[in-house]
Amino acid sequence: MENKEYLILVINPGSTSTKIGLFKNEIPVLETTVRHSTKKLEEFPKIWDQYSFRKEEIISTIKKHGFDLKSLSAVVGRGGLLKPVPSGVYTIDEKMIQDARVGVQGQHASNLGCVLAYGIGWEYSIPAFIVDPPVVDEMESIARVSGLPQIERSSIFHALNILATARKFAQDQKKNLSDLNLVIAHMGGGITVAALKKGKAINVNSGLGEGPFTPERVGRLPLLALVDLCFSEKYTKEDLKKLLVGKGGLVAYFKTNSAIDMENMIKAGSEKFRMVYEAMAYQVSEEIGARATNLEGKIDAIILTGGIAYSDMLTKWIEQRVKFIAPVHRYPGENELQALALGGLRVLRGEESPKSYSISNKKIGIIYWSTLEQFTRSITIIEDTLSEHGYRARTSNSNLEILYKNCQEKEENAQEAIAYFEKSGVDLIFAIGSLAAIATKKYLKNLQIPIVFVGIYHSYVLGTLDLKENENFYAICHALEFKDQWQNTISKLQPDIKRLGLVYKADELHSDIQYDQIRKVTKENEIELFAFDLQKAEDISQALEYFLEAQVEWVVLGSTSVISDMSSENMEILTSRIPTLATLEKTVYKAGMFGYVTTWDEISERGAKIALQLFEGNQPKDHIHHPSRRIFIMNTKIAKTLGWEEKIREKIPESVMVKPTLHS
């Protein structure tokens, strides 16, 4: 970890106060609250008008404590009610400040966080950021459906504390957040419960109108009764808003928002206070149960956080109801200043890149040869990666239009697709798989459109890339050189092998390239090669007979469309009889015995990241990209059947990724 010391100022504006902190890396050296009198704030007609006043108060307070603002490394403000964005650290820009000023999702004192940070950053020439604002939106599309087309569910929750708590829990457990599924309940003046799938909040209750009632808010209500209340002529629209958010919950019942007051009355014997307070715990438990279904019950932990998580009484009631789902952990408090500081520190240390709030609309085309599983998987990963960086399709706040074209294994369809993309004015094209890549290169007329070729076997598939002529072409190859695969697999397990089989497909370019590599390796090692041209899956029995007659010791399952499309059952006709080296990840998942491979997930994600660079106006340095990560995976079912499992574990101990057979 970097040893350089950074001094970070963090700012968290509230309705009548501004919390500020100074952190030397992770360590707080100042945490204080600057309180603003109601009389002074009443001088300002709008929240936004308080900017200059609060800024001077912050600067004055820091100087009073003996700190020099010229020594600051960065300033981080709390994010407000901005447009929906993915989680992360954002560089503050003029568009963000404009959205905060007009209140695109509502007016709140937290909207001042970005402009206060920006103003101080500008004055002292230091970077200014926000971290995980309350409008973080990574909800699944299915979670947005409300039941009424005119109203879409939205994501407004305590993202800053929930995500910081998730990171802290993962660190405490010595695990990666991306490997965990968590349900986290933040309990304070508002209560929000999030389902975190691999670090992303795929569903939450909106903190301004859904979920449990809270110390100050009503949460969900019986709808028809609420309609009657709206038309009772007892309340104005503004009265109702204040009643639902601010004067609801415990305040509505007992004129207090204090958990301490509630518990004191309960300890004094009040059954009414107990029933309402326990009802709040009951509804929090319900919401946790709902989030558990979002994760299909696959949950590593339930975490209770926020100010009310200090309450032994309330958390005990919740734990009793939800502990059957997953272990329950308490991380009381909000720790928002530290969460802001740590976000800024990650950027200063280069551990995380700041995201851009101002993203222009984009239109892309995705062309793929067929509905092959890895192609559809690539599309999902590309969409998810773009979404994580703020490019969203098929939502009410979409800024990305995606045109999809399945060639259905016909070249004329590919030609039509490319013409359609060009006519539609796409900003970029993803061509997934070797055959779609070949067709795209063949039929593309407008060479100004950037093309990202995802998952081609080898750059040879596209011919020799003339980078001056094709400066907008970028290829992410999935193939490892066969020599590399050979040396890390069969050569370790059976160095004295004499007879090797190969399943390939003639006239398929990537298969022919691989065939040449294998012939070279077998020639160098004085191994006799027996190759079977498999044109259709039904001929796999003939391949088995051929290899048995030739008495081969191993068979290489080549990179071919037939192998990729083959069912597990068909493949096992061969692989359950002869040890096999699979050259593709998916082949091992089906029924290949083992392989030293690259992952389509990594290849697809890298393709999406190249697109993001291009969207930001940055031309990637390299045009041809090869896999950086290789994994050894073994199909335990097949390895056990052939008696190879223990030997593989002994000879290749790094085979940590053991995969069972997936049937297709």
Local structure of residue 643 (DSSP, 8 states): T
Q: pLDDT tens across 475-501, in order?
A: 888 777 888 889 888 998 999 999 999
Q: What is the mean pLDDT of residues 276-282?
A: 97
CA distance 105 to 108: 9
What pLDDT, on a 0 to 100 scale, did the predictor assign at position 509?
76
Return the closest-CA partner of residue 637 out of 591, 599, 595: 591
Q: pLDDT tens across 378-407, in order?
A: 999 999 899 888 888 877 668 899 999 999
Q: pLDDT tens across 123-135, in order?
A: 999 999 999 999 9
Q: What is the mean pLDDT of residues 532-550?
A: 95
CA distance 388 to 515: 39
pLDDT at 467 over 60: no
Mean pLDDT in the chain? 90
Local structure of residue 85 (DSSP, 8 states): B
Q: What is the mean pLDDT of residues 124-148?
A: 93
Return the closest-CA partner of residue 451 out of 623, 233, 232, 568: 623
User: Are 397 and 416 within 8 A, CB to CB?
Assistant: no
Burial of 439 (0-12, 13-18, 19+ CB in 10 A): buried
Q: 252 or 655, which is more confident?
A: 252
Work out the number of other CB atoms within 10 angstroms of the CB of residue 592. Answer: 31
Q: pLDDT tens across 640-651, in order?
A: 999 998 888 888
What pLDDT, on a 0 to 100 scale, did the predictor assign at position 69?
94
User: Are 406 and 371 within 8 A, CB to CB?
Assistant: yes
Exposure string for 198-213, b = 16+ CB within 10 A, e = fewer: ebbbbbbbbbbbbbbb
CA distance 428 to 472: 10
Local structure of residue 136 (DSSP, 8 states): B
Instruction: Tell me the pLDDT band of 447, cut-offs 50, 70 and 90.
Output: confident
Q: How many residues does the chain have?
A: 664
Which DSSP string corresponds to 177-213? Answer: GGG-EEEEEEESSSEEEEEEETTEEEEE--TTTSSS-
- The dihedral through the CA atoms of 196, 199, 203, 209 has a sign that is positive
Instruction: Tell me the pLDDT band of 658, cut-offs 50, 70 and 90.
Output: very low
Instruction: Tell me the pLDDT band of 462, cut-offs 50, 70 and 90.
Output: low
CB-based contacts of 640-646 (< 8 A; 24+ apart in sequence): 641/576, 642/576, 642/578, 642/579, 642/593, 644/493, 644/579, 644/593, 644/594
pTM, two decimals, is 0.68
Instruction: Tell me the pLDDT band of 194, cut-offs 50, 70 and 90.
Output: very high
Find the range with the poorest average confidence among 106-120, 522-536, 589-603.
589-603
Work out the number of other CB atoms within 10 angstroms of the CB of residue 422. Answer: 16
Q: pLDDT tens across 330-352, in order?
A: 999 988 999 999 999 999 999 98
Q: pLDDT tens across 301-332, in order?
A: 999 999 999 999 999 999 999 999 999 999 99
Q: Which domains are seen in the chain, by residue range?
A: 7-135+337-344 (3.30.420.40), 159-332 (3.30.420.40), 360-478+604-612 (3.40.50.2300), 482-597+630-659 (3.40.50.2300)
CA distance 298 to 181: 7
Work out the number of other CB atoms within 10 angstroms of the CB of residue 640. Answer: 13
Burial of 196 (0-12, 13-18, 19+ CB in 10 A): buried
Q: What is the mean pLDDT of residues 426-436?
A: 92
Q: What is the mean pLDDT of residues 501-523?
A: 89
Return the closest-CA partner of residue 508 out of 559, 456, 436: 559
Q: What is the mean pLDDT of residues 255-264?
A: 94
What pLDDT, on a 0 to 100 scale, did the predictor assign at position 663?
36
What pLDDT, on a 0 to 100 scale, did the predictor assign at position 661?
41
Supply 601's token pair.
Answer: 């997930």
Find the angle CA(584)-CA(629)-CA(366) to the nearest 5 degrees: 65
- The amino acid that residue 148 corresponds to is L
